Copies of this chain bind each other. A is one copy, B any other.
Amino acid sequence: MKTFFSEDHRAHFPQAELHGGQFVTPFERPSRIEHVLTRLKERGFAAPIAPDPADRAVVDALHAPDYLDFLETAWAEWKAEGFEGEIIAASFPARRMQTARPPRNIDGKVGYYALAAETAITEGTWAAAWSSMASAQAAQRAVAAGDRAAFALCRPPGHHAASDMYGGYCFLNNAAAVAEMFRRDGAAKVAVLDVDFHHGNGTQDIFYDRGDVFFASLHGAPEDAFPYFLGFADETGTGAGDGATANYPMAPGTGYGPWSEALDDALSRIRAFGAEALVLSLGVDTFKDDPISFFKLDSGDFLDMGARVARAGLPTVICMEGGYAIEAVGINTVNVLEGFNNA
């Protein structure tokens, strides 16, 4: 299985994440990736391949033009306003307020395009997000060209990024782009399976009204876990997408037994849907020692997870999402890949 990876992810490393009323070093940090690279090498995977540039047309199909403009220009506007910190959202279009009138003022604009304030934008954020998108797209091209599967070592992650909102460490939705590319390449139906601990609200949002992309997510129940406001079991799609969204919210303390039952159910739903290609949004923050999550998977469970996903028998692109138990991120991620390869 080829791995696609860009060193440009380093351009994004905010100093500050708003957590528990304080600024902390972001849980989503470059060293997460180092541990994956080390384990890939150690376990005999081929050296990662630097991706070709991303195709902008795919991104334009998923994200709103004003949102992309915002991401590209936010840093310059923020600095022009005289703000000294990194970009952090502070004011939001809340209940019963105007949700379709982006402000002119950059402070207001930031709040308009954010779904959370924990995620800072820095000078290098756009470049890093764009390189992450390039890795995802390159992995899709490898699979479209005949590889059974490919791994996009994306950073920053993407699954929380909606068509017009960033947050949860995500800016551009890499997994959604891969699904869209499979469709453009001729697959009638595609599935995105999101096994990150957190609900893939962005991916769900992007495909919610589409009948050609099935979205399934296994995650911490929104009553208890970020992003809190999406990922309920009764969200099943709308319009042409009615029935093409499946959410498996699970309670604090959930272990691999019930988790893998949900996985099997999601995979059987994907089979019944008739997907011709699969995108795996792979977060390993389901691990028992993850500092910001509450599932109880052991490292060995990730081998089994990979095998179950492989047995779906679909051309598969695996996109890296979250995972914050820094050293274990490498072991658990590579376990999924190895489990997949050995199935």
Contacts and interface: CB of A to CB of B under 8 A. Distances in A.
Contacts of A94: 92-93, 114-115, 162, 165, 167, 229
Interface stretch (A14-22, A39-47, A184-192): A14-22
Nearest to A230: B97
Interface string A79-112: 0011111111111111111110101110110011
B18 A227 contact: no
A226 interface: yes
Given A20-B83, A21-B85, A84-B21, A90 B105 contact: no
A16 B20 CA distance: 13
A108 B226 contact: yes
Contacts of A21: 16, 78, 83-88, 120
Interface residues of A, number: 58
17 contacts: A18-B90, A21-B85, A89-B117, A91-B116, A91-B228, A92-B94, A94-B229, A95-B165, A97-B229, A101-B222, A103-B223, A103-B224, A103-B228, A105-B228, A111-B116, A111-B228, A112-B228
Interface of A: 16, 18-23, 78, 81-99, 101, 103-105, 107-108, 111-112, 114-118, 120, 162, 164-165, 167, 201, 205, 208, 222-230, 232
- Nearest 10 Cβ contacts at the A-B interface: A21-B85, A20-B83, A108-B228, A22-B85, A97-B229, A94-B115, A93-B229, A104-B223, A21-B88, A91-B116
